[in-house]
């Protein structure tokens, strides 16, 4: 098992190398670079820049070097010095910008994952055990509703509701008076009051999917002979269901970690923009639009790392949960 | 009830071990442990109500075994599960009573709440249950030990440590080697026979008064079946529990039963002591069942074709290793599934391949068709006059070879695509070969259906509309579609009920006469092999142990392994029980 984990971690290195290479080259694919898009936006607003100044900036940033050289400069900085490069647009080192954003992204993602689990597990079990009952139909109805409503519409609705009926400031993670304030209980409560909207919005679609998966899996498992064996032992119905079939039907829950992380980071950009969340999505989008290549590249690289880690965690958990899965 | 009064002569004959537990029996003979009166169960289906069990009555006595016999769908399993109130939600007990005698008086099981405390105390505590499928009736994600510990903690006042120690003791009692280590292993690390032993240990953990065994050995091969039945008989002697055994195998019934109830279409048609059922059956259905079983044993032997000319198929030194690749990507053979097998098949001959599960017989059959690539050895095909090496054939040649050598599968339910009509199923090989089209194709499919004894009109229907025997006929028609020379039948009759089995075997023999076929017949059922085959190859651990004429192998086997295999086969005669004192093979 440990040998397997170490092996997987070593295998991540070439994968990450591939991710970094591909992401860097994709970022470079659009014609031009940061300076050309800067020039374009400046000339739009009637300003001009001295061509000599531009040539000087090009030389400093190394924008005229071949792509391979640029890539090598960037990646060696990361590997050797932990230096992710310099954001042209923000005029600050990428690492200054990125960690805050990644942290909030990760915490919102994890909170959403916990929400998804907490909601879909009991509903899924209920739906499977009481299949075709009224409760099952109601849960299924709301599940599909959650799946069908676009996230940003749900976000707008919830923002409206919380502003209109709870009188809260909406958007972002904190009310204006707490931004940049020290951590107090008031600030934590404020964070919580803001956090539930993105968590519910981001979680609903995943919840519906997991309910359906759990219901289908558990329905299959419930008719297996070992469930009858458990009943024939004299276990109560609750224990029979929870100890045996649910345990086996849980596998998709654990695999969810693997796909939920990348999905939450890249898939919820629109929601994050609507809710003005300080997550990675909106920043990445702007970096890509303005060809701020080091910022964008670093984001994509870090997301790659997160995805790989998520996959590894889910694989290891799966092996712990189900002894039939063995790693050698 | 008639079965409670056994004649002295029947008692004396019924079981060699009778004397040993006579006193146990006489102590309990007056009052049954469990009595069922007029039990009826209805299934409320979407369109109609199915009366699965009608007016069934029987008694179970301490130290005695009652066998419920019947073909699939006769309601025997539902009856057994109803005793524990473990029937599906759409099934309802519509009448009758189930009375369990206990230390604190009678307990009416049929009136208890379906999942209440009282019935749960009976389940596992007073009545233990063993199922047919040892592969799937234990949880795959819990250790064997933890599943037994759970049962112990439920019904016996024990600490966890005591329960662990008791579990090891139980596993030792069911003859599992190294019980301390095996208790911490998972289900998938146990073989089928070991799982069934673990299942028995679990059912017996709380010393139940009654053991219900629902086809406990159907999924196991003969030698394992004999060992499991030995074990159950020994435990029954030691604990004096009553047993209700459900089976469709009359041979097994003759070996273990004290009394028998024959079920058909939900009713008990005949009930009585085992000797009376086998030697003086009254009901025509019992007689039919018996004759279907016995006919295979007593039938006139076929005249074997000459084995002097040129063989159709010659296999020499065939090997198959399964294993892993090492870090350099080289194959390392951990298991040799088939090891240096050589055999010949002559035209018009039926060659039987017998052996326990894991002996490599299925792998061998698949290698003959190169569905599994052999690791080594040669297969010489001489069907077209000149010899062709099958292992070196390229695509068009191989396709031609495969149209001459066809396969019939074991499971008639899984081997037909449920989304294709019978016409599509049977026509598939013809379409793949590009042989026929349109009206000619339809005519051919109709002919094939008639050939296997089905109506032409069956072609428009889907496989689910047919019974197991009919489906196997469809599978045979599919195999015949390309006018093959050889048919490899892999356990083709083992999933069928006895009476259907005989019909399908006769169909195959009839087809052989009309179409000049040769069969490679892979089976574990010795009586079928004896009825059907001319020569038999006995396999053990991938190797051929013995080859010879079927009659000689089945009656006078030369090798010790074959002797142990043959003596483990249940004999459908309660006056001549051979399984329980069989020859054992120590290897």
CATH, residue B366: 3.40.50.300
Let me know whether B277 and B376 are in one domain. Answer: no
At residue B17, does pLDDT exceed 60?
Answer: no
Predicted complex ipTM: 0.72
Q: Would the CB atoms of B123 and A323 count as touching at under 8 Å?
A: no
Residues B367, B494, single domain; the answer is yes
Residue B535 lies in a domain: yes
Q: Which of B84, B136, B203 is nearest residue A226 as measured by Cβ atoms?
A: B136
Residues B466 and B344 in one domain: yes
In terms of domains, do B183 and B276 share one?
no
Q: Is A143 found in the same domain as A85?
A: no
Pair A67, A108 in one domain:
no
pLDDT at B294 over 50: yes
Contact B137 A226 (CB under 8 A): yes
Residue finishing a domain among B190, B207, B224? B207
The answer to whether residues A33 and A171 belong to one domain is no
Structure token pair of residue B471: 């489906």
Q: Which residue of A has its CA nearest to B117?
A: A236
Question: Is A82 an interface residue toward B (CB < 8 Å)?
Answer: no
Is the pLDDT at B29 greater than 70? The verdict is: no
In a domain, A327, yes or no: no
Decide which of A46, A66, A94 is a domain's last residue. Answer: A94
Please indicate, yes or no, if residue B389 is contained in any of the structural domains.
Answer: yes
Does B84 lie at the interface with A, CB-CB under 8 angstroms? yes
Query: Structurally, how many domains does chain B consist of?
Result: 3
Matching residue, tokens 């008692």: B11
Contact yes or no for A228 and B120 at CB 8 A:
no
Task: State whether B203 and B214 are in the same domain.
Answer: no
Q: Quick check: A225 and B141 CB within 8 A?
A: no
Using only C-alpha atoms, chain A has a radius of gyration, in whole angstroms, of 24
Asked if A224 reaches chain B (Cβ–Cβ under 8 Å), the answer is yes
Domain termination residue (choose one: B141, B176, B207): B207
What sign for the dihedral angle of Cα B291, B294, B296, B298?
negative
For residue B462, CA distances in Å to B38, B427, B429, B459, B480 come to 38, 14, 17, 8, 19
Q: Which of A83-97, B379-393, B569-583 has the highest mean pLDDT?
A: B379-393
Assess contact for B47 and B72: CB atoms under 8 A. no
Asked if A225 lies within 8 A of B86 by C-beta distance, the reply is no
**Do B483 and B444 sit in the same domain of this protein?**
yes
Q: DSSP secondary structure string, B6-47?
A: --HHHHHHH-TTGGGGHHHHHHHTTS-SEEEEEEEEEEE-SS
* Binary contact (A234, B188; C-beta < 8 A): no
B35 and B82 part of one domain: yes
Rounded Cα distance, A4 and A10, in Å: 10
Q: Which of A224, A231, A324 sits opposite B136 (nearest CB)?
A: A224
Q: Confirm if B435 and B519 have CB atoms less than 8 A apart.
A: no
- Name the residue in chain B with its Cα closest to that of A237: B115
**Residue at which a domain ends, from A94, A116, A137:** A94
Whether residue A233 and residue B199 make contact (CB cut-off 8 A), yes or no, is: no
Cα A247 to Cα A125, B139, B206, B321, distances in angstroms: 11, 10, 25, 36
Cβ contact A225–B136 (<8 Å): yes
- How much is the average pLDDT of B253-275? 90
A301 and A208 inside one domain: yes
A29 interfaces chain B, CB cutoff of 8 Å: no
Q: Does residue B581 have a pLDDT over 70?
A: no
In a domain, residue B576? The reply is no
- Examine the domain organization and report whether A37 and A133 are in the same domain: no
Q: Residue B486: its pLDDT value, please?
A: 92
What mean pLDDT, rounded, does chain B reach? 82
- Rounded-to-integer distance, Cα B313 and Cα B323, Å: 28
| Residue in B123, B138, B142 closest to A234 by CB | B123
Cα–Cα distance, B569 to B563 (Å, whole number): 10
* B66 vs B567 pLDDT, higher one: B66
Please identify among residues 148-207 of chain A the ones whose CB lies closer than 8 Å to any CB of chain B.
Answer: none
| A220 interfacial to chain B (CB closer than 8 Å) | no
Nearest CA to B273 out of B574, B63, B576, B31 is that of B574
pLDDT by residue (tens digit) across B431-472?
888 878 888 888 999 999 988 888 888 888 888 888 788 888
Does one domain contain both B166 and B197? yes
* Confidence bin at B298 (pLDDT 50/70/90): low
Same domain assignment for residues B133 and B88: no
pLDDT (0 to 100) of residue B261? 93
pLDDT, tens only, B306-358 = 777 788 888 998 888 776 666 555 666 667 788 889 999 988 889 999 888 77
E strand or H helix that includes residue A286: helix A280-289
Domain boundary, last residue among A59, A94, A129: A94
A87 - beta bridge partners? A92
Q: Give the pLDDT of residue B300.
A: 62
Are residues A43 and A116 located together in one domain of the fold? no
Whether residue A171 sits in one domain with residue A41: no
Q: Which domain covers residue A44, as residue numbers?
A: 2-94
The CATH number linked to A283 is: 1.10.3720.10
Q: Based on the fold, state whether residues A154 and A243 are members of the same structural domain.
A: yes
B303 part of a folded domain = no
Number of domains in chain A: 2
Residues B118 and B96 placed together within one structural domain of the fold = yes
- With a cut of 90, say whether residue B66 has pLDDT above it: yes
Annotate B284-309 with b (16+ C-beta within 10 A) or e (fewer). Answer: ebbeebbebbbbbbeeeeeebeeeee
Return the pLDDT at B7.
42
- With a cut of 70, list the residues of chain A below it in pLDDT: 169-171, 259-267, 326-328
Q: Which residues on A lie below 8 Å from B137 (Cβ)? A: 225-226, 228-229
Task: Give me the domain span that covers residue B386.
Answer: 313-571
One domain, residues A63 and A161: no
CA B115 to CA B446: how far, in whole Å?
A: 52
């Amino acid at each position: 098992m440990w040998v397997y984990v170490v092996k997987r971690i070593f295998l991540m290195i070439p994968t990450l190398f591939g991710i970094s290479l591909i992401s860097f080259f994709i970022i470079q694919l659009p014609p031009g670079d940061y300076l050309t898009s800067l020039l374009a936006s400046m000339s739009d607003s009637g300003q001009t820049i001295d061509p000599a100044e531009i040539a000087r900036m090009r030389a400093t940033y190394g924008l005229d070097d071949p792509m391979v050289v640029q890539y090598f400069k960037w990646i060696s900085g990361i590997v050797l010095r932990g230096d992710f490069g310099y954001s042209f647009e923000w005029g600050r080192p990428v690492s200054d910008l990125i960690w805050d954003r990644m942290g909030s992204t990760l915490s919102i993602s994890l909170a959403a994952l916990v929400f998804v689990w907490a909601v879909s597990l009991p509903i899924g079990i209920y739906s499977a055990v009481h299949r075709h009952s009224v409760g099952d139909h109601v849960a299924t109805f709301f599940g599909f509703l959650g799946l069908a409503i676009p996230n940003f519409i749900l976000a707008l609705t919830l923002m409206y509701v919380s502003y209109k009926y709870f009188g809260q400031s909406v958007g972002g993670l904190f009310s204006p008076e707490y931004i940049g304030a020290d951590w107090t209980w008031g600030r934590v409560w404020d964070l919580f009051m803001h956090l539930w909207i993105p968590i519910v919005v981001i979680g609903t679609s995943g919840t519906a999917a997991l309910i359906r998966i759990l219901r289908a899996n558990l329905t299959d498992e419930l008719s297996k002979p070992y469930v009858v064996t458990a009943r024939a032992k004299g276990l109560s119905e609750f224990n029979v269901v929870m100890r045996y079939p649910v345990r086996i039907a849980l596998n998709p829950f654990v695999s969810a970690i693997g796909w939920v992380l990348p999905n939450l980071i890249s898939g919820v950009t629109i929601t994050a923009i609507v809710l003005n969340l300080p997550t990675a999505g909106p920043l990445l989008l702007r970096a890509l639009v303005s060809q701020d290549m080091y910022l964008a590249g670093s984001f994509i690289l870090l997301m790659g790392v997160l995805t790989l880690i998520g996959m590894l965690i889910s694989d290891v958990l799966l092996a712990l949960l189900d002894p039939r899965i063995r790693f050698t | 009830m008639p079965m409670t009064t056994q004649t002295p002569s029947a008692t004396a004959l019924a079981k060699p071990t009778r004397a040993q537990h006579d006193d146990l029996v006489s102590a309990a003979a007056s009052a049954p442990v469990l009595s069922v009166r007029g039990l009826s169960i209805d299934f409320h289906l979407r369109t109609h109500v199915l009366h699965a069990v009608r007016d069934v009555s029987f008694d179970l006595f301490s130290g005695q075994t009652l066998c419920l016999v019947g073909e699939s769908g006769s309601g025997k399993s539902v009856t057994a599960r109803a005793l524990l109130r473990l029937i599906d939600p759409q099934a309802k007990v519509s009448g009758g009573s189930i009375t369990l005698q206990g230390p604190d008086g009678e307990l009416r099981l049929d009136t208890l709440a379906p999942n209440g405390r009282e019935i749960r105390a009976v389940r596992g505590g007073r009545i233990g249950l063993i199922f047919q499928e040892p592969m799937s009736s234990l949880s795959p994600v819990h250790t064997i030990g933890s599943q037994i510990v759970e049962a112990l903690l439920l019904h016996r006042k024990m600490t966890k440590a005591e329960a662990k120690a008791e579990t090891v003791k139980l596993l030792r009692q069911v003859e599992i080697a190294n019980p301390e280590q095996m208790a911490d292993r998972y289900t998938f690390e146990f073989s089928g026979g070991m799982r069934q032993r673990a299942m028995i240990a679990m059912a017996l953990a709380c010393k139940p008064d009654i053991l219900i065994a629902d086809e406990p050995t159907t999924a196991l091969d003969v030698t394992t079946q004999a060992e499991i039945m030995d074990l159950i008989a020994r435990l029954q002697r030691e604990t004096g529990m009553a047993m209700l055994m459900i089976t469709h195998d009359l041979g097994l019934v003759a070996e273990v039963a004290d009394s028998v109830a024959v079920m058909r279409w939900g009713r008990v048609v005949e009930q009585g002591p085992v000797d009376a059922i086998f030697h003086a059956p009254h009901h025509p259905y019992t007689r039919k069942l018996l004759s279907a079983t016995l006919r295979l044993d007593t039938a006139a032997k076929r005249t074997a074709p000459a084995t002097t000319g040129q063989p159709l198929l010659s296999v020499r030194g065939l090997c198959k290793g399964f294993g892993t690749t090492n870090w350099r990507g080289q194959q390392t053979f951990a298991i040799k599934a088939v090891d240096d097998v050589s055999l010949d098949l002559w035209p018009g001959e039926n060659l039987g391949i017998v052996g326990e599960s894991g002996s490599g017989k299925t792998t061998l059959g698949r290698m003959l068709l190169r569905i599994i690539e052999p690791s080594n050895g040669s297969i010489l095909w001489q069907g077209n006059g000149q010899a062709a090496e099958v292992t070196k054939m390229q695509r068009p040649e191989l396709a031609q070879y495969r149209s001459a050598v066809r396969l019939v599968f074991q499971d008639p339910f899984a081997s037909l695509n449920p989304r294709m009509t019978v016409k599509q199923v049977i026509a598939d090989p013809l379409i793949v070969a590009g042989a026929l089209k349109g009206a000619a194709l339809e005519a051919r499919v109709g002919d094939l259906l008639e050939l296997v004894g089905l109506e032409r009109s069956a072609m428009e229907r889907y496989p689910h509309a047919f019974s197991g025997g009919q489906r196997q006929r469809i599978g045979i028609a599919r195999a015949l579609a390309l006018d093959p020379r050889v048919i490899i039948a892999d356990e083709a009759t083992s999933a069928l009920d006895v009476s259907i089995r005989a019909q399908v075997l006769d169909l195959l023999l009839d087809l052989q006469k009309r179409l000049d076929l040769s069969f490679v017949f892979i089976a574990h059922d010795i009586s079928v092999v004896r009825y059907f085959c001319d020569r038999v190859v006995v396999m053990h651990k991938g190797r051929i142990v013995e080859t010879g004429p079927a009659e000689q192998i089945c009656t006078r086997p030369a090798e010790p392994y074959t002797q142990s295999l043959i003596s483990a086969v249940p004999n459908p005669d309660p006056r001549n029980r051979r399984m329980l004192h069989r020859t054992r093979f120590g290897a």
